[in-house]
């Protein structure tokens, strides 16, 4: 994460976009060169890059991440109320994606090479290649503007922040976009894993015992596939996080994804820095979590040590 | 000599040659079975349309027809006009040129970087390989879109080439990983060993021995990277970080979608989106046809 922060910092300061522009707005153009220099030194932008970085790092270790140049508030204060929103959206989408993907995969595996399997595969692939932002816009067009069923933006109506039902209504469309744009990618992976599993010998034994197809898949195969699913889930975290960026931007959902896009647009580097760090932390934490879960599910991983995990 | 009447017999002499059995010509239908003909035809139509944009377009794609703002599709503006008064029908073909060429450029960059990195990592000794893989894992753990946001904010005002470069530079990790695992499988074969013993350089081993042997198994990833790059371009342009509105591409046409929502002009949103969608799906299904058919055992279920 330290390396990440150095890279981002240097990158950000090379950028041609002038941070002063977003801090003072159009006033920059009417300032004289002395005023400009004074403004620069006030914001600490005149020091060499490595001095700026050390200064930033010292602040960061004390919990000070600098001012957001656009919002003119400490960056931390801009970000903190939004993290929860994104986590809520991201986690719900993430869990639903894998729940639905597993169901679809089982449905496909039970009916391998029948019309059902082929239909799900075809539709799934087509939907997966829909650009998610376009899907979002079309959903707004249909459900919010034509049918007026669902709200098109925000996380809650004004003054209804605590209303659970209101929040849920706002989450339906972003969730749909995120789920549809990731579902089949993982569904297909799980389906193929399941199909491999169905060719193992123990399936024959289970069949001889008189178990039904359904029982075999749910009780035997799915358990054996579970570690692989958890593995896929761990790798997929950054991928799903990318999805929140698009979904949040399309629906103006107040979260860190939409904020990252905005801060990249306005060259608001202090804000962008903290967002990158938060994202990095989320990814690292969740992969540790995934590793723990897969050790619980499949004790073999623990015995063979790290090597099996990093295979 | 008596004439042979029975048609089952024939006279053979010293110069007789067995007439080769005229092999039944494969029926075209059968030869094309399992190949994405439909997708190919669609893609060909779109590519040709973009190449001959000058002949197809009936308006200036960058002209602002200010008296025809937000006009619904009619006989003059086949696909309507957008909120700036531009003719969407003409823009589709000119925009397709930009979108498709961004896809191709990014594909070239992704392929070059991915194959080179993968080959180096695959041929290197364990230590170097481990370090290179760790770097990849780190890069892979950051969402691609975030990396792109960073890059685009650094680049500032983008044009088609810088955008394609940014997409290419952030998109090669998956390919490199695949190439590495392929190289690992063939690095110990005799011909690679022999080439090394004879002192052949890395570049020559890569181009003459490695690439021809794994190209078939990575081809579908390379083709898929065209469609993912086109999709990335449109996403970035939509978010306002890609091409500006006056550079026409399918993505920048869609960046007017938010305004179109307020005006309820569906054609601004749907039409470029459908073109994008058809192109992406066509490229993908062509790519999937290059996937090696797996030999499946019958299921035990």
Would an 8 Å CB–CB cutoff place B126 in contact with chain A?
no
* Binding-face residues of A in 134-193 toward B, CB within 8 A: 134, 137-138, 140-141, 145, 152
Q: Do B152 and A264 touch (CB under 8 A)?
A: yes
**Residues of B whose CB is below 8 A from A134:** 234, 238, 254, 257, 269, 273, 276-277
Would an 8 Å CB–CB cutoff place B130 in contact with chain A?
no
User: From the CB of residue B150, how many other CB atoms can be counted at a distance below 10 Å?
Assistant: 23
Nearest-angstrom CA–CA distance, A118 and A114: 6
Nearest-angstrom CA–CA distance, A274 and A80: 10
Predicted confidence band of residue A49 (pLDDT cuts 50, 70, 90): low
Predicted confidence band of residue A51 (pLDDT cuts 50, 70, 90): low
* Res B107: pLDDT: 92
Q: Do B300 and A199 touch (CB under 8 A)?
A: yes
Would an 8 Å CB–CB cutoff place A278 in contact with chain B?
no
Average pLDDT over every residue of A92-98: 87
**Residues of B whose CB is below 8 A from A201:** 300
* Res B27: pLDDT: 59
Query: In the numeric block, which tokens belong to residue A187?
Result: 């569904």
**Residues of A whose CB is below 8 A from B151:** 11
With a cut of 70, say whether residue A68 has pLDDT above it: no
Which residue(s) pair with B81 in the sheet? B87
Nearest CA in chain A to B155: A15
Tell me the shortest Cα–Cα distance from B159 to chain A, in angstroms: 15
Nearest-angstrom CA–CA distance, B58 and A274: 49
The dihedral region occupied by B57, where left means phi > 0, alpha psi between -120 and 50, and beta the remainder, is: beta
Better-predicted residue by pLDDT, A212 or B28: A212
Q: Do A129 and B227 touch (CB under 8 A)?
A: yes
DSSP reduced 3-state for B81: strand
Query: In the numeric block, which tokens belong to residue B168?
Result: 């290419």
* Binding-face residues of A in 92-121 toward B, CB within 8 A: 110, 112
Out of A15, A131, A242, name the one closest to residue B154 (CB).
Answer: A15
Out of A125, A145, A272, name the one closest to residue B261 (CB).
Answer: A145
Q: State the count of interchain CB pairs (< 8 A) between A and B.
A: 141
With a cut of 70, say whether residue A21 has pLDDT above it: no
Taking only the tens place, the pLDDT of each residue in A258-299 is: 777 777 777 666 677 677 777 777 777 777 777 777 777 776
> What is the residue-averaged pLDDT of chain A?
71
Candidates A188, A207, A246, A264: best to mutate against B (most CBs of B within 10 A) is A264
Would an 8 Å CB–CB cutoff place B76 in contact with chain A?
no
Torsion of CA B221, B107, B168, A286, to 10 degrees: -20
A131 close to B280: Cβ distance less than 8 angstroms: yes
CA distances from B139 to B134, B136, B143, B148, B170 (A): 9, 5, 9, 12, 9
Tell me the shortest Cα–Cα distance from A90 to chain B, in angstroms: 13
* Res A20: pLDDT: 47
**Residues of B whose CB is below 8 A from A284:** 141
Q: Do A138 and B258 touch (CB under 8 A)?
A: no
Nearest-angstrom CA–CA distance, A190 and B240: 35
Nearest-angstrom CA–CA distance, A122 and A144: 28
Predicted confidence band of residue A311 (pLDDT cuts 50, 70, 90): very low
Tell me the shortest Cα–Cα distance from B16 to chain A, in angstroms: 52
Q: Do A242 and B144 touch (CB under 8 A)?
A: yes
Nearest-angstrom CA–CA distance, A228 and A190: 8
Predicted confidence band of residue A87 (pLDDT cuts 50, 70, 90): confident
pLDDT of chain B, 301 residues: tens digit per residue = 556 677 777 777 777 776 655 555 555 565 566 667 788 888 888 888 888 777 776 777 676 776 666 666 666 666 777 767 677 788 888 888 888 898 999 999 999 999 989 888 888 878 888 888 877 877 777 777 777 877 777 776 678 888 888 888 888 888 888 888 888 888 778 888 888 888 888 888 888 888 888 888 888 888 888 888 888 888 888 887 777 777 788 888 877 777 777 777 777 778 888 888 888 888 888 887 776 554 456 666 6
Q: What angle do CA B238, B241, B244 make, to 5 degrees?
A: 75
Tell me the shortest Cα–Cα distance from B299 to chain A, in angstroms: 5
Give the residue ranges of DSSP H helices in B11-143.
28-32, 37-51, 53-56, 88-123, 126-141
Nearest CA in chain A to B138: A4
* Res B109: pLDDT: 93
With a cut of 60, say whether residue A34 has pLDDT above it: no
Predicted confidence band of residue A25 (pLDDT cuts 50, 70, 90): very low
Lookup result for tokens 């307020």: B262
Q: Do A133 and B149 touch (CB under 8 A)?
A: no
**Residues of B whose CB is below 8 A from A252:** none
Predicted confidence band of residue A171 (pLDDT cuts 50, 70, 90): confident
Would an 8 Å CB–CB cutoff place A61 in contact with chain B?
no
Would an 8 Å CB–CB cutoff place A261 in contact with chain B?
yes
Out of B231, B240, B257, name the one closest to residue A265 (CB).
Answer: B240
Which residues neighbour A85 within 8 Å (Cβ) at sequence distance 6 or greater?
A155, A253, A254, A255
Least Cα distance to A68 among A210, A291, A263, A239 occurs for A263
ipTM, 2 decimals? 0.71
Out of A129, A137, A264, name the one closest to residue B241 (CB).
Answer: A264
Q: Do B284 and A201 touch (CB under 8 A)?
A: no
Out of B231, B266, B297, name the one closest to residue A131 (CB).
Answer: B231
Q: Do B235 and A133 touch (CB under 8 A)?
A: yes
Nearest CA in chain A to B134: A310
Lookup result for tokens 């695959």: B122
Nearest CA in chain B to A130: B277
Better-predicted residue by pLDDT, A65 or B173: B173
Lookup result for tokens 């039409």: B271
Tell me the shortest Cα–Cα distance from A275 to chain B, in angstroms: 10
* Res B169: pLDDT: 87
Query: In the numeric block, which tokens belong to residue A171?
Result: 């989450």
């Amino acid at each position: 994460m330290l390396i990440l922060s150095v890279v981002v910092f240097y990158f950000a300061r090379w950028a041609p976009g002038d941070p002063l522009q977003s801090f003072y707005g159009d006033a920059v153009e009417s300032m004289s060169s002395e005023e400009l220099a004074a403004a620069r030194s006030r914001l600490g932008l005149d020091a060499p890059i490595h001095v700026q970085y050390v200064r930033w790092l010292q602040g960061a270790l004390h919990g000070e991440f600098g001012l957001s140049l656009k919002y003119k508030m400490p960056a931390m204060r801009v970000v903190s109320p939004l993290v929860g929103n994104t986590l809520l959206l991201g986690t719900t989408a993430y869990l639903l994606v894998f729940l639905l993907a597993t169901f679809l995969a089982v449905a496909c595996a039970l009916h391998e090479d029948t019309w059902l399997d082929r239909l799900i595969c075809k539709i799934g692939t087509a939907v997966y290649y829909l650009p998610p932002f376009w899907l979002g816009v079309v959903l707004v067009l249909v459900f919010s503007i034509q049918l007026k069923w669902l709200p098109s933006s925000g996380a809650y109506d004004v003054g209804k922040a605590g209303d659970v039902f209101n929040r849920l209504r706002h989450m339906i469309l972003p969730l749909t976009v995120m789920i549809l744009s990731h579902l089949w990618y993982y569904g297909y992976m799980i389906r193929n894993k399941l199909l491999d599993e169905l060719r193992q010998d123990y399936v024959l034994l289970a069949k001889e015992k008189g178990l039904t197809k359904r029982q075999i898949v749910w009780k035997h195969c799915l358990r054996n596939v579970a570690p692989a699913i958890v593995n896929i889930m761990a790798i997929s975290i950054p991928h799903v996080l990318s999805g929140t960026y698009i979904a949040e931007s399309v629906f103006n959902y107040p979260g860190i994804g939409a904020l990252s896009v905005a801060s990249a647009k306005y060259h608001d580097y202090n804000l962008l820095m903290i967002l990158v760090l938060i994202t990095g932390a989320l990814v690292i934490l969740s992969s540790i979590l995934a590793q723990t879960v897969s050790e619980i599910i499949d004790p073999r991983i623990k015995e063979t040590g790290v090597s099996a995990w990093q295979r | 000599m008596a004439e042979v009447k029975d048609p089952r017999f024939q006279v053979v002499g010293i110069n007789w040659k067995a007439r080769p059995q005229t092999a039944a010509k494969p029926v075209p239908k059968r030869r094309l079975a399992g190949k994405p003909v439909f997708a190919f035809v669609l893609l060909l139509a779109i590519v040709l349309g973009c190449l001959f944009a000058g002949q197809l377009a009936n308006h200036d794609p960058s002209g602002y027809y200010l008296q025809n703002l937000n006009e619904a599709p009619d006989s003059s503006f086949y696909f309507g006009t957008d909120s700036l008064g531009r003719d969407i029908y003409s823009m589709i073909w000119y925009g397709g040129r930009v979108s498709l060429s961004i896809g191709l450029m990014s594909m070239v960059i992704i392929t070059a970087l991915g194959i080179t990195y993968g080959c180096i990592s695959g041929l290197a000794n364990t230590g170097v390989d481990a370090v290179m893989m760790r770097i990849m894992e780190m890069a892979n753990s950051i969402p691609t879109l975030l990396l792109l946001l960073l890059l685009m904010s650094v680049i500032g005002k983008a044009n088609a080439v810088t955008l394609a470069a940014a997409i290419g530079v952030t998109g090669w990790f998956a390919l490199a990983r695949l190439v590495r695992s392929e190289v690992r499988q063939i690095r110990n074969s005799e011909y690679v060993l022999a080439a090394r013993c004879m002192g052949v350089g890395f570049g020559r081993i890569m181009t003459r021995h490695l690439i021809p042997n794994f190209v078939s198994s990575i081809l579908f990833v390379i083709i898929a990277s065209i469609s993912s790059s086109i999709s990335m371009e449109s996403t970035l342009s939509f978010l306002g970080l890609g091409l500006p509105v006056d550079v026409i591409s399918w993505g920048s046409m869609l960046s007017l979608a938010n305004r179109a929502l307020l005006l309820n002009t569906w054609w601004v949103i749907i039409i470029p989106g459908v073109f994008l969608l058809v192109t992406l799906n066509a490229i993908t299904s062509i790519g999937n046809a290059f996937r090696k058919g797996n030999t499946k055992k019958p299921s035990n279920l």
